[in-house]
Amino acid sequence: MVPHSEAERPHDLELAAGLIAAARRGLALTGAGVSQESGIPTFRGPDGLWRRYDPVKVSSLEYFMQDPAAYWSVARERGQLVLQALPNAGHHALAALEEAGHLAAVATQNTDGLHLDAGSRRVIELHGSGRTVRCLDCGARETRAAVHARLAAEMPPRCLACGGGHLKPTTILFGEPMPAAATAEAFELAQAADLMLVAGTSLAVYPAAQLPLVALEAGAPLVIVNAEPTPFDRFAAVVLHGRSGEILPQLVERVVPAGRG
Ligand code: NAD
Ligand code: ZN
């Protein structure tokens, strides 16, 4: 279980809020931790999914190509959870910080689409989106929800457009290249950022974990909100340990005057 955030540390909260309030082109970087309170298990960390499945195996392109049915039987359970999930207070807080003019964008390693649901306007999905499925033969796209609806009758699911191609979610599996446009956009924003706000990520997956370094080199202060320590804590101006769904709204309360955002 992720422990509830400690109520002390008012000083750190004020410090972080001050840095966010001063920012005009901040970049947020999020990971699986921000969606944990929406009921989606993280890969690493407390309750991590990686304790139940072999992550590289079930999330690799090689595994998908060898046995799409096995891939889809894992994806079916997890995907259903993601399709039903709702954004939490942490997602809403990041949308409010963008609305109030402090964040330019959210770059996320998540594929669940919850930042968009919460109202964030500029969302850079570094690892693609799990809401869409694409045919590997003809390229036709369908919603994930439509494919899930027929999984009970068809495993693995096949493309309706060409009548046979294998369908793969438009997420980036291990062994696939990062989406070039999204990656370039995130690095440009990190370079131009006047604040880097990291939330709910172990900062263990590159190149996403490179973004805070780029921002730091460009002179932006780093604020980290995470349940556990990360390898970047020592570079941060402020580290707030706890739940992002509790801490991010506390920051918004201090940064965005009541009635706005
Ligand atoms: P991760 O699973 O490696 O790390 C998650 C981090 O979040 C951990 O450090 C953990 O301590 C922290 N955490 C857990 N609950 C938290 C909470 N309530 N508040 C704050 N922090 C919390 O995730 P990652 O670094 O994002 O990388 C794993 C990869 O797996 C990602 O690239 C992503 O594509 C994928 N993934 C996506 C989802 C999703 O879309 N929701 C979920 C799991 C994994
Ligand atoms: Zn097809």
pLDDT at 53 over 80: no
Catalytic center residues: 127
The residue whose CA is least distant from atom 10 of ligand 1 is 45
Using alpha carbons only, how large is the chain's radius of gyration in Å? 19
Q: Which helix (H) or strand (E) holds 184?
A: helix 180-192
Q: Identify the burial level of 11 via C-beta atoms within 10 angstroms of its C-beta, where 0-12 means exposed, 13-18 middle and 19 or more buried.
A: exposed
- Ligand 1 atom at minimum distance from 204 CA: 25
Rounded distance between C-alpha atoms, residue 143 and residue 225, angstroms = 32
| Ligand 1 site-directed mutation target among 40, 42, 83, most atoms within 8 Å of CB | 42
- Ligand 1 atom at minimum distance from 111 CA: 40
The residue whose CA is least distant from atom 37 of ligand 1 is 110
At residue 7, the pLDDT reads 45
pLDDT at 259 over 90: no
> Does the Cβ of 108 fall within 6 Å of ligand 1?
no
> Does the Cβ of 227 fall within 6 Å of ligand 1?
yes
pTM of the model: 0.93
Q: Identify the burial level of 181 via C-beta atoms within 10 angstroms of its C-beta, where 0-12 means exposed, 13-18 middle and 19 or more buried.
A: exposed
> Does the Cβ of 38 fall within 6 Å of ligand 1?
no
pLDDT band at 242 (very low <50, low <70, confident <90, very high): very high
CA of residue 162 to ligand 2 center, whole Å: 4
> Does the Cβ of 33 fall within 6 Å of ligand 1?
yes
Q: Which helix (H) or strand (E) holds 223?
A: strand 222-226
Question: Which ligand is the nearest neighbour of the Cα of 231?
Answer: 1
> Does the Cβ of 45 fall within 6 Å of ligand 1?
yes
> Does the Cβ of 244 fall within 6 Å of ligand 1?
yes
At residue 22, the pLDDT reads 98
- If you average pLDDT over residues 11-20, what whole number do you get? 97
> Does the Cβ of 31 fall within 6 Å of ligand 1?
yes
Q: Identify the burial level of 87 via C-beta atoms within 10 angstroms of its C-beta, where 0-12 means exposed, 13-18 middle and 19 or more buried.
A: buried
For 94-125, what is each residue's pLDDT tens digit? 999 999 999 999 999 999 999 999 999 999 99
- If you average pLDDT over residues 10-37, what whole number do you get? 96
- The rounded mean pLDDT for the chain is 91
For 58-71, what is each residue's pLDDT tens digit? 889 999 999 999 99
Rounded distance between C-alpha atoms, residue 240 and residue 261, angstroms = 22
CA of residue 120 to ligand 2 center, whole Å: 32
For 133-166, what is each residue's pLDDT tens digit? 999 999 999 999 999 999 999 999 999 999 999 9
CA of residue 31 to ligand 1 center, whole Å: 4
Question: Do β-strands 26-30 and 196-199 pair in parallel, antiparallel, or remain unpaired?
Answer: parallel
**Is the alpha carbon torsion for 39, 101, 204, 71 positive or negative?**
positive
Give yes or no for a contact between 2 and 46, defined as CB atoms under 8 angstroms apart. yes
- Ligand 1 atom at minimum distance from 202 CA: 9
- Ligand 1 atom at minimum distance from 55 CA: 30
